[in-house]
Every structure is written in C-alpha cells, then in structure tokens.
Structure 1
Amino acid sequence: MTPLLPETARRPVAALAAAAALFLAGCADMGHIDPHASLRDAASVGIAPEAAAMATPTVDSQWWLGFGDAQLNTLVDQALRGNPNLRVARARLERAQAAIGAAEAGRLPKVDGQLDLNKQQFSSNYIYPAPLGGSRQELGTFQLNASWELDFFGRNRTAIETAVGSTNAAAADADAARVLLASNVARAYVQWARFNDQLAVAQRTLSQREETLKLVRDRVSAGLDTRLEQFQSEGGLPQGRQQIEALNEQIALARNALDALVGQPGATRTLAAPKLDSLRPIALQPTIPADLLGRRADIAAARWRVEAATSDVANAKTQFYPNVNLVAFAGFSALGFGQLFKSGSEQWSVGPAVRLPIFEGGRLRSNLRGKTADLDAAIESYNAAVLDAVREVADQVASAQAVARQQAEQAASQRAAESAYDIAVQRYGAGLGNYLNVLTAETTVLAERRQAVDLSARALETQVGLARALGGGWQPPAQATAAAGRQATRHP
C-alpha cells in the first residue's frame, strides 16, 4: 500500500502528534474539584430589599465627637496613634503590600550577572583526553543570564490577584482594628464615668447614714430608742465605706484599661473624673441599613479573603499547564583566566524553555483540592461575619429600645422610693415610725440610685455598640471598590 504522506512529510506530523500527546498527558485532570460553599447576600440574612428606600443611619468616621467630651476625644486620638495592636495591623498591611511587589516581579524579565573563577583538577580517567585530562586548569566564566516567563495561562496574573486580595483584606483589617479600638476606648471611658457616678452615690449614702446615726443617737440619749437601733445604724457605716473602697478599686482598674488602650501608662492621671451626665447622647437611627454589608470593614476584609482565595484556586489550576520561558545568556568562557576576555571566548544562547508536568503523583490535584478547601473556608468565614454583623446591629437596636423604656420606668420608681424614704425619716424623727421602716426605705433608695447609674451607662454603651455595629463610619477606599468590581466580574 502506498503511504498517504511521504516520509519527509510524516516526520513533522509525527512530531506534532507526539507533542500534542505530551501536552495532553501533562495537563493533569482537574475534574470534580470544585468549591461547595456559596456567599450569603443581604436578602438571605433578613435585610429586606425595600429597606434601601428608607432613611438609614449615618455614622460619622469620628462618631465619638458626638458625645461632646474633650477628654474622650483626646484619649481616642492618642489610642489611634499609639496603640500597639493597631501598629501590628499596620505592619501586616505593609507586609501584604510587599507581597504585591513580589508577585508583580514575576511578570517582568529577570537578568542576573555571573562570574565564576575556578581552579579545577581534571580526571585522567574521565571523558577528557590528554592534555586536558590529568591537568589542573583555570576555568573562567563571565556572562549575563536572562529569562522571561511568558504568562500564557495566567499564572503570574492570578498570583498578583491573590496578593492584591490579601492586601485589601489586610487594609480592611487595619480599618476594622481602628473602629474596634475607638469603640473600646469609648466603652472604657463610659465605664470609668459609671464607677465615678456609683462612687458619688455611695458617698452620698454614707453621708446620709452618718446623719441618720446622729439622729438615732439623739433619740437614744433622750430615751426614745434603745441601743439596738443605734447598733443597727452604726452597722451601716462600715458597709458604706467598704462599697466606696470597692468602687475606688474599679475606678483604678478602668483607668488602667484606658492607659493600656491608649498605649501610654499614666495617660488618665491628669484627667478629671468623668460623669455620665457630661456625655451627650449621639444621634443614631435604630434600623438595620440595607447596605450594612458594605459599611463594615470586617465584612469587607472577609470578602477580600474570598477574592484572594478565588484567585489562589485559579493559580493552582495554572500549575497544570506548561511553563514557557524565554531564556538567554551572553558572555565569555575560557580555560585560563588570561583567555577569558580574548577573541574567541564569546558565548551566547537564546531560545524558549518549556516545562510541562507529566506525572506529579497527585501533587497538583492535592494542591488544587487544598486551595479549593481554603476557598470554602473563606466563604463560610464571610458568611459567619455577615450573620454576626446583622445579629450585632439587631442586638444593639433591641437593647437601645429596651434601655430607654427601662429608664422611664426606673425614674418613676426612684421618685417614689425617694419620697417614701423622706417620709420614713420624718416619721421616725417624730416618733411615729420605727427604725426598721427607715432601713427598708433606705435600701430601696440605694438600689434605685445604683440602677439609675447603671441604666445611664448602658444607654451610652449601647450607642457605642451601635456605632461600631453600623461600621463606625468606615467607607471602602475607592481603589479597593474598583478592584472588587473587577474581581466580581471575573469571579461571579
């Protein structure tokens, strides 16, 4: 039978077929390795789409200024400048930014210089014949080496996208740390004010008990009461002083906590003791905004980790394809250092270099499976952050409303308790009532005063928590927003 193609024509075809078979064999199977998790959106966590048309709460990026306390403003500013944890977040951001530069370098040609000057003893029983075999020679090489990876399959591009996603996540983490730090300083400051107000209540109670003791002693001296009432009245004084000491301890601990947050020991030493009534309520509309997921830096960080993991999976897939490089070198090489730069010692080479994975023992599939699992983990971490964010806002809204109702009821209860106590003291002084009625009324008044302070502090803490839950006034940088749009287009 006559061949369909002559021998000279069949050779290139056979070479091409062999190359194609090698390519197909080298591109290992990536099938059945896919992520299983999916991202949650606003509707899936109960944020109604029609909420977008509602007036939503706006939080200023310096929301703590709304409290109108200059000392608090100073403490927050100092914390944002000097807190060690915030500096750690900034260092992580700088490290991530450096990773972008390293990834971008992979797209550029690489050139390095080489200078080798060696003295070598050649074997007499090897491939080198005499007079080279058995001699000792000086070998010199001086050349430039260059290589350039041709990114046909997007290996370098996906590596850059991974680094960019990680950098944006680190930047959002740093912003989230700022929001958290400011809220922690404000909360610690409110606690300091709460303990100061509680101390004022305790001191007022102690003074009140001292006045009552004086009354009891006068009545005992007049023979109107017994020593029992005097002992009962005297027993309240040590108890009142013990409460004052306990509150002084709590005040010291609150100040230490603020010093640590600010990053400056003794920062609160020169400050005046704050009072709860010196802090103005900040205006926050208690509703869950439709764009909540875009207002929080921690959610943005989780979303960028999803983008980075998505690019990492794409990069793992490029490992299955050939790696094509242009390589070249030019320089001099000679036997004998004196011959190195003479005519005839020149050497050069240029051409493509292709590396193709043929058998990797499952390494590439295992790597892809691991990166896909990382993507699933990143998606579920994002989903958890979304759910936590919605819960935090709902909790703060519910607490704000409940505390407001409790304050109204407590104010009425305290007014009644104060009136009952005044009447009990007047009746006791007039001999119309016993001292047990005074003690009972005093206990009720003391509890109501403490409750009033606690509710005032809770109202302020709830406002701090709501400001943080709504994102603390954070807005994504314009460049990150644009990059997110491009990532979403590539990875729907």
Structure 2
Amino acid sequence: MKQMKMPTLPDKIRRLRKRAWPTALVIAIAVAGTLAACTSAVKVDLPAPRVLPSAFEQVPAASGAQTDLAHWWRDWQDPELSRYVNEALQANTELGVAQARVREARSLAAVVDSARYPMLSAQAGAEHGFGNLRDPTEVPDGSPDLDGYAGGVTSVWEVDIFGRRASDSAAASALADMALEKLRGACIAIAADVAQNYLAARGLQRRLLLLDRSLNTLHDMQRYAEARFRTGQAVRYDVQRVTEQIAAREAERPVLVSEIDVRRRRLAVLAGKAAQQATPLDAPGTSRVPDVPTGELPSTVLERRPDVRATAASVHAQAARLGSAEAQLLPRFYLTFVGLDGHLRLDGLPGLSGSGGLIGVGADLPIFNAGRIRSNIAANDAGLQAALGEYDGSILRALEEVDSSYGARHGLDMRIERLDATRLTAGRNVEDVRQLYEGGQLTMRDVLDARLDALQREDELIQAQTAQALATVRLYLALGGGWSIAETTVPAGGVNRGLLQ
C-alpha cells in the first residue's frame, strides 16, 4: 500500500495564511466602513440666529379655511389659468436646467462621500511562455511550456479620525440641498410668471372689449353731431371734436392688441414652445380675484421660501468647508492592505504557488506649506461670513416683501371698492340723463357724454382689478407659495437641513 505523505509544518502555515488573508480583508473592510459611517463632520460654531418678529404688520389674523399655497393658482377657479401653469411646470426649459443641476449636485455629493470609505481594487494576470531546449543534460528532449497566473486585491483607506472627509461630504450634500431649493424657487417663479402674463392678458382683453363699446358710442355721437351740423344746429367744431376723439381712441387699439400678443407669446415660451406656436386666448370671462391668505407668521413664511432655504443651505456648505479646511492642520492616517496569490508551472518541473498579504499603517502630518492651509482657512471663513450675510439679507427681504405685498393688495382693494361705487354712480347718471332727454330737458349729446363717462369709469375699474390680480400673484410669490415637498425631487442621500437653528 502506498504511504500517504503528511504535510509539513510550513505547508500548514501557508495554507492557513492562504485562507486567512481574504477573511482579514473582509473584516477590515467591514470595520472601516462602520468607522467611516460613524465619523462626524468638524463642528463649526455659527452665530445666534436673528430674532424674528412674532407677527407681520399687514397680515390678517387667521380666519376660515387655509389657502393651499402649494397650488395657489387654483384659487382663481379658472381652468385656463391652471392649464397654462401646469403646462409650464411640466415643460419649461428653465425647470429642465434646474432639474439637471440637482442631478449634477447629487452625483457630485455621492462622489465626495465615497472618499470616506475604503477603496478596494483587484488585479489579475496570466502568462504563457514557450521555448526550445537544445541538448539539455537533466531534462528530456522537447519544448516545455511555461504557464503562470497571479491575482490580488488592494485596499487603501484614509481613516477620517478628525472629520475632514465627513466635512467635505456635508458640504457637498448641502450644495445638493441648495440646488434643490433653487429648483423649487424656479417652480414658484415660473408659476408666478405664467399667472402674471395670463391675468394681464385677460385684463387687456376686457379693456379691448370696452374700447369697442366706447368707439360705438363715439360713432353715434359723430352721426348726431353731423346731423345737427347739416340742420344748422351745431358748428363744424362739434363734428371735428368728436372725430378727434374717435381717432384718439382708435389709436389705443393697436397697442392693446400688441400687448395681448406679447403676453400670449410669453405664455407659449414659458410652456416650452416656440413663440410662433402661441395659440389665441379665449374670450375673457368674469374677473375674480381670491381673498388673501390669513394667519401667516414670519417663521412659517421663512421656512417655506426657497430663497431663504437656499441661503441657509449655503451657510451649512460654507461651514462644512471651513471645518474641512481646519482639519487639514491635523495629521492624516492611512490603512493599506494588499493580498496576493499566484502559481507558476514549467513542463517537466514541479509547480510553484503561493499567497501572501500586507497590512500597513501610515500617517501624514503637515509641517511646512508656506501658509497654504492657514490661507485656505481664512478664505473659507470669509466665505462663511459672506454666506451668513446673504442668509440674513434673504430674511430681511422676505419679511419686507410679505408686508409690502399685503399692503399693496389692501390699497388696491380700497381703490377698487371706491371705483366700483363710482362706476355704479356713473351708470345711474346714464339712466337719469336718458330720462331727462326723453322728457325734452337734455339733448342726445348729454346722453352720449354720460355714456362715455360711465365707460371711462369702467375702464379705470378694469385696470385696478388687473393691478389687484397681479399684486395678489406677487403676494403668493412673497409667501413662497407654488411648491410642495411631494412634488419636488429630493436628491438621494441628501439631507434637508432646513433653516439655521
């Protein structure tokens, strides 16, 4: 019976090592990943937040159902307005750019965050050689082949003990948040732009219809003046004055038509279409302006406004950059792992194989860099101060815009109330003058003058109503309405940091 060869002690050691280095690699990667996930960014102290007023001056107290600020254009109860806004939010080119910026920032944040974790790479190779041995003394005649392979893995990791990499990741994540807030800001700006152009076009259409009514009245007056002139009851001046009024009013028509076309083309461009693809607007319906939102508080408005949220994210990004710059003064530590395995075979000779591994630890301490690190810290500190100033300025602008917008809307409400009363009075005057004319106490000219005056009061009311509608849109814009978290894409891995606390 053939006797089995017992493995020697070196053989056992080699086998244990061969099985041990993959296990060690897995354990090292798991530990490194856990440590990387637990490392926090460098803490940077921020100044105390500005003390906000407890309430606005012009905002009415809460009453009744609250307005859906995320879809404020629905409050007009105008299907055409909602359709134009929805089309723009789906196809606007600026929104497409903003969405791409969010995806870009998200990807860059993932790239930066990956530096916190171990990098693992694998290498492999194989060789085949051949030759012709001439008259060897120990090896039989022939042409032996040489075969070999080798493979291994390498892992390198910077142990982020002092949080430099975590700070870089936090800065990139905050920049992704800022890109998202800019997308939300673009949403509310585009919705407001659509509404302003649509409502302005509707106001111009109503004024154009009113202009036609005024021209009809003036033509009646012209015929009346010409008839009196032919009978010798009026002078030529009476006819010429009416003709002049007609020419002046007719000159207003091209301007109104061109302004309507400008708004119509703008609506097409906002919806991602060419201006030449703009469609005609339907006939205007009844003008309706919703009531103003009530019960708004400074804290809720600032939390809602994307521009304030974006500047807050910028502060977090700059603070994280400063923390990363300060961490560069501290030493860096590295872990390195290399595992190799290979085999070599030559025909006619015993094969050779082996495996091995290497674990290394390194450190890097900055000693002299000509002030580069200190200058970088100073630059990032200045960037943080600038970001804080922008954040503070965005708060002040938001608080100002809300009260100013409410005040403008209130002033127009009062103006419309008085203009409407004036319009009703002018309408009653037309009826009174007509009755006096039928009683023989006044002339037809008096009736037509009263009618023109009533039309003028109505035109003033339409202009005020259009201004009221546009002021309402600006109010919703000041409140930060026009977006919701459910309808905006949050970058994966991003953190909603909110406002400075």
TM above 0.5, yes or no, is: yes
- The one of 62, 81, 84 aligned to 1:55: 62
- 1:230 Cα deviation (Å)? 1.1
Aligned match of 2:247? 238
- Does the aligned pair in 2 maintain the 1:112–1:146 contact within 8 Å? yes
- 1:427 Cα deviation (Å)? 7.7
Q: Would you say 1:256 and 2:265 are equivalent positions?
A: yes
Aligned match of 2:459? 450
Scaled by the length of structure 1, what TM-score is found?
0.76
In the TM superposition, what whole-angstrom CA distance separates every residue of 1:78-107 from its partner, at most 9, and x where no partner exists?
100100111111111111111221122112
Distance change >3 Å, CA 374–CA 439, structure 1 → 2? farther
Aligned match of 1:130? none
After superposition, where does 1:155-166 map in structure 2 within 5 Å? 155-166=164-175
Whole-angstrom distance in 1 between the partners of 2:291 and 2:272: 26
- The one of 91, 109, 114 aligned to 2:118: 109
- 1:255 Cα deviation (Å)? 0.4
Q: Which amino acid counterpart does residue 194 of structure 1 have in structure 2?
A: G
Q: Which amino acid counterpart does residue 55 of structure 1 have in structure 2?
A: A
- The one of 356, 359, 363 aligned to 1:350: 359
Whole-angstrom distance in 1 between the partners of 2:243 and 2:215: 11
Whole-angstrom distance in 2 between the partners of 1:111 and 1:268: 56
Aligned match of 1:149? 158
After superposition, where does 1:210-359 map in structure 2 within 5 Å? 210-265=219-274, 268-269=278-279, 271-275=281-285, 277-285=286-294, 288-331=297-340, 343=352, 349-359=358-368
Structure 2: state its 5+ residue gaps: 1-42, 127-148
- 1:60 Cα deviation (Å)? 3.2
Whole-angstrom distance in 2 between the partners of 1:279 and 1:486: 36
- 1:220 Cα deviation (Å)? 1.3
Distance change >3 Å, CA 269–CA 178, structure 1 → 2? same
Distance change >3 Å, CA 400–CA 183, structure 1 → 2? same
Whole-angstrom distance in 2 between the partners of 1:255 and 1:350: 70
In the TM superposition, what whole-angstrom CA distance separates every residue of 1:226-284 from its partner, at most 9, and x where no partner exists?
22211111222222221111110111001011111111236651541334x24452552
Q: How many residues align?
A: 429
Aligned match of 2:417? 408
Distance change >3 Å, CA 171–CA 270, structure 1 → 2? same
In the TM superposition, what whole-angstrom CA distance separates every residue of 1:128-178 from its partner, at most 9, and x where no partner exists?
xxxxxxxxxxxx997643211111111111111111111111112111211
Whole-angstrom distance in 2 between the partners of 1:444 and 1:294: 49
Scaled by the length of structure 2, what TM-score is found?
0.74
Whole-angstrom distance in 2 between the partners of 1:487 and 1:253: 39
2:403 match: secondary structure? helix
Whole-angstrom distance in 1 between the partners of 2:289 and 2:60: 30
* Matched-pair identity in %: 23
Provide the aligned C-alpha RMSD in A: 4.1
1:101 match: secondary structure? helix
Distance change >3 Å, CA 52–CA 411, structure 1 → 2? closer
- Does the aligned pair in 1 maintain the 2:335–2:360 contact within 8 Å? yes
Structure 1: state its 5+ residue gaps: 1-33, 118-139
Distance change >3 Å, CA 322–CA 49, structure 1 → 2? farther
- 1:462 Cα deviation (Å)? 2.0
- 1:350 Cα deviation (Å)? 2.8
2:398 match: secondary structure? helix
In the TM superposition, what whole-angstrom CA distance separates every residue of 1:51-74 from its partner, at most 9, and x where no partner exists?
999638644311111111111111
Whole-angstrom distance in 2 between the partners of 1:142 and 1:153: 35
Distance change >3 Å, CA 53–CA 254, structure 1 → 2? closer
Distance change >3 Å, CA 54–CA 83, structure 1 → 2? same
- 1:442 Cα deviation (Å)? 6.9
Whole-angstrom distance in 1 between the partners of 2:498 and 2:85: 36
The 10-residue stretch of structure 1 (402-411 or 232-241) with the greater mean CA deviation from structure 2: 232-241
Whole-angstrom distance in 2 between the partners of 1:49 and 1:446: 39
After superposition, where does 1:321-470 map in structure 2 within 5 Å? 321-331=330-340, 343=352, 349-418=358-427, 444-445=453-454, 447-470=456-479
- 1:389 Cα deviation (Å)? 0.9
